[in-house]
Amino acid sequence: MAKKESIQKRLQKVRPPRVQLTYEVERGDAIEVKELPFVVGVVADLAGQSEVEQPKLRDRKFVNIDRDNFDDVMKAIEPRAAFQVENRLSEAGGKFAVDLRFKSMADFNPDEVVAQIEPLRRLLEARSKLADLRNKLAGNDKLEDLLSEVLNNTQQLQTLAKDQSNAADQHGGAPDHDKHGE
């Protein structure tokens, strides 16, 4: 009867381990090299403030985690961090709530974290719109000159603002947007 191959041997064929512990054993006149399996067990509460009910510590089982199932394990645990931070985005100050939820390693990417925090998400959207405008201005001298003229002529800006508010008053609300959606 063939001996069943150990899990370590099967994994070694699929994915060689990064850590290999060996020791030499003398058997008679021969030296035999033995390999020790490298197994790490981590006991941790990785859920943070998850809203998913977690089993009691004594009822928890070890979960085999590797690079192939890491996101699935995170999705099952649904780690969450909720806290208050100082509002440094406005003059009013105060605090605002942050509620971060992670379902995969990609959720730790700074852009993904910002997307979960409303005031920062709005700033990032404004930043990307400004970057788009800058890219449109690059190489379009006529548009750049027109925008510079409008921004430098504050009197004309004030007149336009008054006309806009007068039109809103006459129509009983917000001014109509033009038919092109601009």
Q: 86, exposed or middle or buried, with CB in 10 Å at 0-12, 13-18, 19+?
A: exposed
Rounded distance between C-alpha atoms, residue 11 and residue 52, angstroms: 32
CA 141 to chain centroid, in Å, comes to 38
- Residue 30 corresponds to which tokens in the numbers above? 């021969």
Which of these, 12, 18, 21, 82, lies nearest to 47 by C-alpha position?
A: 82
Residue at 94 is within a domain? yes
Rounded distance between C-alpha atoms, residue 86 and residue 13, angstroms: 52
pLDDT at res. 180: 46
Question: What three-state secondary structure class fits 148?
Answer: helix
Residue at 62 is within a domain? yes
DSSP code of 23? Answer: E
Q: Which spans in 15-137 are helix H?
A: 70-77, 110-115, 118-137
Residue at 6 is within a domain? no
pLDDT at res. 152: 83
Residue at 152 is within a domain? no
116 neighbors 99 (Cβ within 8 angstroms): yes
pLDDT at res. 111: 93
Which of these, 36, 81, 43, 48, lies nearest to 63 by C-alpha position?
A: 43
pLDDT at res. 179: 45
Residue at 90 is within a domain? yes
CA 38 to chain centroid, in Å, comes to 32
Stretches in the chain below the pLDDT threshold 70: 1-4, 8, 11-12, 15-17, 171-182
Residue at 111 is within a domain? yes
Residue at 150 is within a domain? no
Domain count, the chain: 1
CA 178 to chain centroid, in Å, comes to 37
Query: Residue 91: which domain range?
Result: 57-116
**pLDDT by residue (tens digit) across 129-173?**
989 888 888 888 888 888 888 778 877 778 878 888 887 777 655
Residue at 74 is within a domain? yes
